Amino acid sequence: MDYAELAVAAAEKMELYRQDPGGWRGCRRTSEVSVSWRPSAEFAGNVYRGEGILPASPLDVWECIKPVAGGLRTKWDQNVKDFEVIEAINDAVSVCRTTTSSAFMRVISPREFVDVVLMKQFEDGTMLSAATNVEHPLCPPRPNFVRGLNYPCGCFCIPLPGEPDRTQLLSFFQTDLGGYLPQTVVDSFFPASIAGFYSNLTKAVKQLKA
C-alpha cells in the first residue's frame, strides 16, 4: 500500500472541495461556525463542510489541531480520546490511529480510525491537514471498538490578510461510523459534533494565548 500516494490524493481532494462552492446545503449555524453538507462521492453518506473565524493566529490554531503524537487535540477535542502515530512515512506523512469515546448520550459506542495523514503548508501561509482511511499491519481491529472509516477529510488554517490574530478554519468531514446506527442518528450527530469542535477549539486557542 503506497501510503504517501494515498495521502497526496486526499490532500488534492481537499483542495478540490475548497474550490468547489456548489451544492452545499446549510444545516447548522452558530456564532463560531457555519455547517453545510452534500452527498459524498466517496461512500453512501454525506460530506460536511465547516467554516468559521477563530480569534487566534494561524500558528496558534495549527498548534491546537495538528495531528502529531502528544499534540493538544486530545486535551480539547471531546471526540478524540487518544491519538497515536503508528508509522512515520516521511516528514509530512504518517499513519495514525485515533480512538473516540462513546458519544451522543452513549448511542454511539467508542470508535477507532486508522488513517494516513498529510501535513502541508502553502506559499500564502495556509496550513492543511488531510487524511483518509487505510489498513496497517500494526493496527488490526480491536474488540472493544467499532472500526470507522474516514474518507478524504481535513482542515485548512487560512491566514486573513491584515488580521494576524484571526484565522479562517475550513474543514471537511466525511466519516462512515460503522456499526448499525440509524441514519437519523448519524445525520443528527455530525452537525452537532462539528459545532462542538469549533466551540471547543475556540476555547482552546484562547487558553493558548492567555
pLDDT single digits (tens) 109-128 = 999 999 999 999 999 999 99
Lookup: cell for 7: 495521502
pLDDT exceeds cutoff 80 at 209: no
Average pLDDT value for residue range 72-94: 95
Q: Read off the pLDDT band of 136 (50, 70, 90).
A: very high
Contact 67, 119 (CB under 8 A): yes
Backbone angles phi, psi at 187, to 5 degrees: -65, -30
pLDDT digits (tens, 9 = 90+) for 7-42: 999 999 999 999 998 899 999 999 999 999 999 999
Domain tally for the chain?
1
23 DSSP 8-state letter: T
Containing structural domain, residue 25: 3-209
DSSP 115-155: EEEEEEE-TTS-EEEEEEE---TT----TTSEE-EE-SEEE
Q: Are 109 and 102 in contact (CB under 8 A)?
A: yes
Stated pTM of the model: 0.95
User: What's CA 150's distance to the chain center, in Å?
Assistant: 9
| Domain CATH for 189 | 3.30.530.20
Count of CB atoms situated within 10 Å of the CB of 190? 22
Residue 1 predicted with pLDDT over 90: no
> CA–CA separation, 205 vs 54, rounded Å?
8
pLDDT at 104: 80
Mean of the per-residue pLDDT values of the chain: 95
Contact 116, 10 (CB under 8 A): yes
